[in-house]
Amino acid sequence: MTGTINVSTKTKILVISIFIILFLAIVTLIGTIIAVNSINKSNIENYKTDIYLKTQTELQNYVQVTIQTIESFYQRTSKEKIKQEVQEHLIEQMGLLFSILEETYKNHKNTMNKQQLKQHLLKTIKASKYGENGYFWVNDFKGIMLMHPIQTELNNKNLIKMKDETGKELFKAFIHVASTNKEGFVDYLWPKPGFEKAQDKISFIKVFKPFNWIIGTGDYVEDVTKKLQDEALKTISQIKYGENGYFWINTSEPRMVMHPIFKELNGKNLSEFKDKEGQKIFLEFATLANKKEEGGLVLYSWPKPGEDEPKPKFSYVKKFEPWDWIVGTGAYIDDVETKIKNMEEKSQKSLQIITIISAIIFVIVLIVLSLITLALSTRRDNKNFNDEY
């Protein structure tokens, strides 16, 4: 009997030990789940901070790249670059006109008398236009204006002594270039519609040999700058990124220069424009961009493309000083929150997977320990039985 009691006591001790191990395993499992959950929450909080900082950095980088794009267009507005742009453009237009004049002269020189042919060619030149303001004029080597399509009051007048605002005798300059090289460029000032003062102009003149005419055409420097600005705006308006990413440009006034989505705002003064919270957002863009050379963030409400209801948005704005262009782009907060929600869902799934795996391991351990306990208990009972008999 004594032996049986001793064996039972040992079995009890073994069972108690196993239960202690199980208890510790359960506590460890619960602790692990709590720890993992805590780590997940910490990671999510860090992710929230990181995603906003990352978004801000991305917006800043996007704006900086756009500023560099504008800079590439601006570099072409230097005096030397503009001259090159204008000269190439004027040579091209003059070449097109001369191809028409030479062909017309060739076809009619034997069917029209000299005076008729001259009048026919002058009408052709008068009707030849290009771009918004491009035209051609004709003067002779005495300085007499034979045809000017815009300032008709100059026609048939001798302009040899005409000077621009700097005192340059521009028709003498035309005649000098024509006499020396048969073609070339002259820089001067000339009245432009809509401007009180004469504007910088570059003209290309070329001699039409059959009638010894000096034909000229020119372009204003300001027009070239405007043309390059328009090209820059067109390029930027076409840049898109992500689902809703785009760029807009306003001035310090603030006036909208270009908005690719809400085009009805283009050209408007937006100093009193408010979002649904009453915030004068474009005035704030201008104030911030003028205050901080590096630019900065503004939080406000604005509709998503294709939607009417304004949603919280934060945008990065920075000023391109030479043209007084404030470039901006932004991200909607709900888009950022969606990323955070996705992160939370992934973390929750990870926690569930860890819990399930831990539970499976726990059940397996429990089964193994139960089998071991049963085996040891049976072995002890058999041994005790043999000892008694």
Of 50-54, 119-123, 130-134, 363-367, the least confident: 50-54
Q: What percent of the chain has pLDDT over 90?
A: 54
The pLDDT value recorded for residue 3 is 46
In this prediction, residue 4 carries a pLDDT of: 47
Q: Is the pLDDT of residue 51 over 80?
A: no
pLDDT at 52 over 70: no
Report the pLDDT value the prediction gives residue 2, as an integer from 0 to 100: 46
Report all structural domains of the chain as residue ranges with CATH numbers, in order of start: 80-219 (3.30.450.20), 226-335 (3.30.450.20)
d(CA 285, CA 328): 8
User: What pLDDT, on the 0 to 100 scale, is given for residue 141?
Assistant: 97
pLDDT of residue 320: 97
Q: Where are the beta strands (DSSP E) in 192-292?
A: 199-208, 213-220, 248-250, 256-258
Which of 25-34, 35-44, 192-201, 265-274 ranks highest by mean pLDDT?
265-274
Which amino acid is residue 26, in one-letter code?
A: I
Query: Tokens 């017309």, residue?
Result: 104
Q: Report residue 357's pLDDT band, with 50, 70 and 90 as the boundaries.
A: confident
The least confident of 20-24, 140-144, 250-254, 376-380 is 376-380
The answer to whether 336 touches 56, Cβ cutoff 8 Å, is no
> How many C-beta neighbours within 10 Å does residue 215 have?
25
Closest CA to 70 of 328, 325, 330: 325
In angstroms, what CA-CA distances link 304 with 52, 119, 249, 311?
19, 60, 17, 7
- Give the mean pLDDT of the chain: 84
Contact residues for 278 (Cβ-Cβ < 8 A; gap 6+): none
How far apart, in whole angstroms, are the C-alpha atoms of residue 307 and residue 330? 16
pLDDT bracket for residue 366 (50, 70, 90) = low
Identity of the highest mean pLDDT range in 9-13, 308-312, 375-379: 308-312
Name which residue leads in pLDDT, 333 or 62. 62
> Which of helix, strand or coil describes residue 31?
helix
Task: Report the C-alpha gap between 173 and 163 in whole angstroms.
Answer: 10
On the question of pLDDT at 265 being above 70, the answer is: yes
Q: Which of 143, 137, 126 is nearest to 179 (CA)?
A: 143
Taken in order 14, 18, 19, 20, the sign of the CA dihedral is positive
Tell me what pLDDT residue 168 has.
95
Beta carbons of 234 and 247 less than 8 angstroms apart: no
| Euclidean distance between CA atoms 145 and 116, whole angstroms | 18
**Minimum mean pLDDT range among 17-21, 197-201, 273-277, 327-331:** 17-21
Segment among 28-37, 195-204, 250-259, 340-349 with least mean pLDDT: 340-349
The rounded distance, in Å, linking the Cα atoms of 4 and 24 is 30
Q: What value does the mean pLDDT take over residues 12-31?
A: 69
For residue 226, is pLDDT > 60? yes
Q: What is the pLDDT of residue 307?
A: 85
Identify the pLDDT of residue 12: 67
> What type of residue is 326?
I
Q: Which of 31-40, 63-72, 118-127 has the lowest mean pLDDT?
A: 31-40
Which residues make Cβ contacts (< 8 Å) with residue 52, sequence separation at least 6? Answer: 336
The per-residue pLDDT for 93 is: 97
